[in-house]
Every structure is written in C-alpha cells, then in structure tokens.
Amino acid sequence: MTTRFADKSVLVTGGGTGIGRAIALAFAREGARVAVAGRTEASLAETVALIEAEGGKAVALVGDVARSGDAARLVRETVAQLGGLDVAVNNAGILGTPAPVADVEEEDWQRLIDTNLTGTWLAMKHQIAELRARGGGAIVNISSNLGTHFRLPGLGAYAVTKAAVATLTRAAARDHIADGVRINLVSPGPVDTTMSTRPGETAADKADRMKAQVPVGRAGAPEEIAAAVLHLASPESAFTVGADLVLDGGVTA
C-alpha cells in the first residue's frame, strides 16, 4: 500500500472484471477509497472483497451508465459513501457481436452506441458537474486502439464507438480544463481479459495469436493498463490534458 491517492475518492465504472477491476485494485493499493460501479452485483462484490482483503476501502454501486438517472446516482452515491469525488475512470463498455458493417444488427449497433458512447458521455456529464463544484479533479476514459488508430474486420461498429469516445474525450478536455477538470484517454490494444479471447480459444491458442499479431509478443496485462490510468490521474500528469495514451504493444507503432 502506498499513499499517492491517500484521502482521495475514486469512481471506476465497469469495475467488476478485467481492466476495471485492475484499476480499482490499483487505486486502493495507493490509498484511495474506491467506488466500484457496474451492472452485475456479484462481480462488483468480488472486486470489493479483493480490495478489502488487502486493507483497502471500497463500495459496490450497481448501475448502468447508459441511463442518465443511473449515471447521476453513481456520482451521488460515491460522494455520499466515500465523502467526495476526486477521480473518475470511465471503463464500462461492451464489444458487441462481431460482424461486417453491413451485417451488424440494428439492435446491436444501438447497444454499442448506448453503452460505449452515450454511457461515457452521461458518466462524464454528471462527474464533471460534481468535480466542477468541488474545484476540480481528474477523469480518465478507457477507449481502444481499435477506432482512431486501428481497424479489424468484423469490429467496425465497436471501432466507431471507440473513435467517438476518443473525440468526445478531447473535446471535453478542452471545454472543462478551465473548470479545473483534467480529462485524458487510455487506448489499450489486446489485453489478457475475457473480452480479447475468441470463442473456444484456449490459453495456448491465444498466446500463439498474440505472439503473431503483437510486436511485443504478448497481450497486455490489466495491471499495465491500470498503471497508466493512475499516472494520468495523478499530480504527475498535471500538464497532460486531452492526451490519448495508446498501450498496444506496438500494434499501431
């Protein structure tokens, strides 16, 4: 346990699994009180239990950021239960059903837009209002190297939403730095989570695929993404505004 974020309150959306869980744990290990938000109560409880087992402070908040009422409530409950809000990390997102652009079902397109783009906007909208009232803070959004930097067949709809999140982040960063709210973006490539595992793929199969596709020879670890998020949220990055930090092992180099 270190103290870089001692006495800070942090809200992490999509914190029940994968990258979000790693981010929540990393903040707690550096002294933060963490609100872990998401749609699945059981996975959120697991993240909270892991944090508490290491002596950290965390609460689970069930909600869907694609719903304005939920996005606002997550901020209110973070403030009420943790004593404030200093940092928000918007990690909630879905991959959708891979398909060529012309074959994407309208329902799947709308789900991707609602969760990945509208959900990020709604979350930021309510987070910025709270941070602005408090005199400032930091927001880190999680996008992807798919979108602005890279495309893959069958993932066009997902890439569109993530490219939009990147543009939204930069626009918000310019709009709200005068309010003391510093906003940045992390764009991971393939990370060793269930989202990057293909149906029926074994761990060995995935390792071979990553070795062939990623110049560094492997998928990223969730903890490596978390480390970058903490850096952008910390005072060490006080001069970093509207940055898009790509972490993809050299895929888009």
Q: Would you call 245 helix, strand, or coil by DSSP? A: strand
- The residue written with tokens 């508490």 in the block is 52
| Pairing status of strand 9-13 against strand 87-90 | parallel
Measured between alpha carbons, how far is 119 from 90 in angstroms, rounded to an integer? 9
Measured between alpha carbons, how far is 11 from 130 in angstroms, rounded to an integer? 12
Structure tokens at 243: 């940055």
Q: Would you call 243 helix, strand, or coil by DSSP? A: coil
Alpha helices in the chain (DSSP H): 18-29, 41-53, 68-82, 106-112, 119-134, 156-176, 203-213, 222-233
Q: Which among 158, 220, 245, 248 is annotated as catalytic? A: 158
| Pairing status of strand 9-13 against strand 244-247 | unpaired
250-253 contacts, C-beta under 8 A, 24 or more apart: 250/214, 250/215, 250/216, 251/145, 251/150, 251/189, 251/190, 251/213, 251/214, 251/215, 252/145, 252/149, 252/150, 252/189, 253/215
Inter-residue contact 52 to 83 (CB < 8 Å):
no
Respond yes or no: is residue 158 known to be catalytic: yes
User: Which sequence positions are flagged as catalytic?
Assistant: 158
